[in-house]
């Protein structure tokens, strides 16, 4: 798919009637520097999936091998490469910005040190992505042979402009493991799992919030400090969401498999498989051979957690467009007003073969009114 670049004389973060998404072809360090004047303090959310420095030559433009295997400088070249881009990024970050960087073990310690230097030690944290689901199958890496153990995880290093002023949102729980759910009372709402709805007798505080007595259907009195008010408990009971069991248990809350529930984000992300990213690409182009594309659900997880509803989103290693798809879909399905800038070096023709077709397909599928603008670095910024 070939899309002609637009001449865009006023490429800048203005307010548009519909969200706009800029796809820019060129060298990301150069483009980030060109953006300094018009885009200062514009971006609230940044996600990048940079070269991991694997020792393998994976592409021509952003070489994933920065050293000879036994070179004493094996990490220095990668750090120079990354520092140049982070130096160019810093002026573009808003005061409440958060940056997520996917990485594996090879450069994790060096990336952490670099980001601590730039953002401050207090403003740098690490998340773990468990990329092989607990219920995964052979096609998801469960049967992969290894001399010692399988590598089932990657890291996401998180850097904040100012962690003290940032509060993350609660998120909807990723797909639960179905086998943990049952339906012993044949509830028409489907499988459910029971959850604690009160503290133990020992931990309940008579002077604390929501300390009261309930009476079971069998007439037994139970006094506890409950997680909900009395009125809320009674409402849940009327809706059949309190599980009384055989009458001898402490009542519990029924949570259904098919209903979303908000949870506090964890530093460990699970139930999102690496193979989702591969399968998505194959659905666009069966010949696609891009190594380890990130699944859209992983990006959505981070966006739901950390991005304001009208945030400017930046991905300057745009690859096959996982970030772009996540942004477009959340604007439609979640009512967000995300706007984005995706920068691609068009390695191996990825921009026209995968990234742009992918975003156009998503836009058409969801009947999105968002605008997609393609710009070449050589055109006027």
182 shares its domain with 279: no
252 shares its domain with 275: no
* Residue 240 within a domain: yes
249 shares its domain with 111: no
289 shares its domain with 235: no
* Residue 136 within a domain: yes
Residue 65 pLDDT:
54
Alpha-carbon span 36 to 33, nearest angstrom: 5
85 shares its domain with 159: yes
Token pair listed for 368: 């999105």
133 shares its domain with 190: no
36 shares its domain with 57: yes
* Residue 107 within a domain: yes
Alpha-carbon span 225 to 201, nearest angstrom: 8
* Domain CATH for 141: 3.40.50.150
155 in Cβ contact with 126 (< 8 Å): yes
Alpha-carbon span 59 to 219, nearest angstrom: 71
* Residue 117 within a domain: yes
153 shares its domain with 279: yes
Token pair listed for 198: 């009160």
Q: How buried is 227 (Cβ within 10 angstroms: 0-12 exposed, 13-18 middle, 19+ buried)?
A: middle
* Structural domain boundaries, residue 238: 178-256
* Residue 9 within a domain: no
150 shares its domain with 295: yes
233 in Cβ contact with 242 (< 8 Å): yes
Last residue of a domain, one of 239, 256, 273: 256
Alpha-carbon span 180 to 205, nearest angstrom: 32
Q: Which residues pair with 101 in a beta bridge?
A: 48, 157
Residue 137 pLDDT:
46
Q: What is the mean pLDDT of each run of 10 residues along the chain (381 residues)?
A: 49 72 94 93 96 58 52 77 96 97 92 96 95 58 65 94 94 69 92 94 95 94 96 96 91 88 89 80 62 87 96 95 95 94 89 90 93 82 52
Angle (CA) 291-293-352 rounded to 5° is: 90
95 shares its domain with 206: no
Q: What is the DSSP letter of 173?
A: P
Structural domain tally of the chain? Answer: 2
Length of the chain, in residues: 381
Residue 70 pLDDT:
44
Residue 33 pLDDT:
95
132 shares its domain with 36: yes
Q: What is the DSSP letter of 23?
A: E
Last residue of a domain, one of 206, 227, 256: 256
* CA-closest candidate to residue 115, choices 124, 105, 126, 127: 124
Alpha-carbon span 307 to 313, nearest angstrom: 8
Last residue of a domain, one of 241, 256, 271: 256
* Residue 359 within a domain: yes
Residue 244 pLDDT:
94
* Residue 15 within a domain: no
* Residue 320 within a domain: yes
211 shares its domain with 125: no
């Amino acid at each position: 798919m070939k899309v002609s670049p637009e001449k865009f004389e006023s490429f800048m973060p203005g307010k548009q009637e519909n969200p706009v998404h800029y796809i820019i072809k060129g060298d990301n360090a150069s483009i980030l520097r060109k953006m300094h004047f018009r885009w200062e303090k514009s971006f609230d959310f940044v996600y990048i999936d940079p070269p991991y420095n694997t020792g393998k030559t994976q592409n021509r433009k952003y070489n994933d091998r920065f050293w000879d295997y036994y070179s004493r400088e094996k990490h220095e070249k990668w750090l120079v490469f990354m520092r140049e881009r982070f130096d160019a990024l810093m002026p573009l970050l808003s005061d409440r910005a958060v940056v997520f960087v996917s990485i594996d073990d090879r450069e994790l310690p060096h990336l952490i040190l670099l980001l601590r230097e730039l953002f401050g030690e207090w403003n740098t944290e690490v998340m773990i992505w468990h990329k092989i689901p607990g219920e995964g199958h052979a096609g998801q890496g469960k049967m992969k042979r290894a001399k010692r153990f399988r590598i089932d995880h990657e890291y996401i290093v998180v850097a904040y402009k100012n962690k003290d002023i940032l509060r993350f949102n609660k998120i909807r729980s990723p797909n639960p493991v179905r086998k943990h759910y049952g339906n012993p009372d044949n509830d028409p709402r489907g499988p459910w799992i029971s959850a604690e709805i009160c503290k133990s007798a020992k931990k309940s505080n008579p002077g604390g919030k929501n300390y009261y007595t309930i009476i079971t259907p069998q007439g037994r009195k139970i006094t506890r400090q409950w997680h909900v008010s009395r009125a809320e408990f009674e409402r849940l009971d009327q809706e059949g969401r309190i599980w009384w069991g055989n009458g001898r248990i402490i009542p519990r809350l029924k949570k259904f498999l098919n209903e979303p529930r908000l949870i506090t984000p964890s530093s460990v992300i699970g139930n999102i498989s690496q193979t989702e990213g591969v399968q998505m690409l194959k659905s666009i182009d069966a010949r696609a051979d891009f190594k380890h594309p990130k699944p859209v659900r992983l990006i959505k997880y981070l966006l739901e957690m950390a991005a304001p509803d009208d945030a400017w989103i930046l991905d300057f290693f745009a690859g096959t467009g996982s970030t772009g798809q996540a942004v477009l879909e959340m604007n439609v399905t979640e009512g967000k007003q995300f706007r984005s800038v995706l920068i691609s070096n068009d390695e191996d023709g990825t921009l026209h073969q995968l990234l742009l077709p992918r975003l156009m397909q998503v836009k058409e599928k969801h009947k999105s009114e968002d605008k997609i603008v393609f710009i070449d670095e050589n055109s006027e910024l």
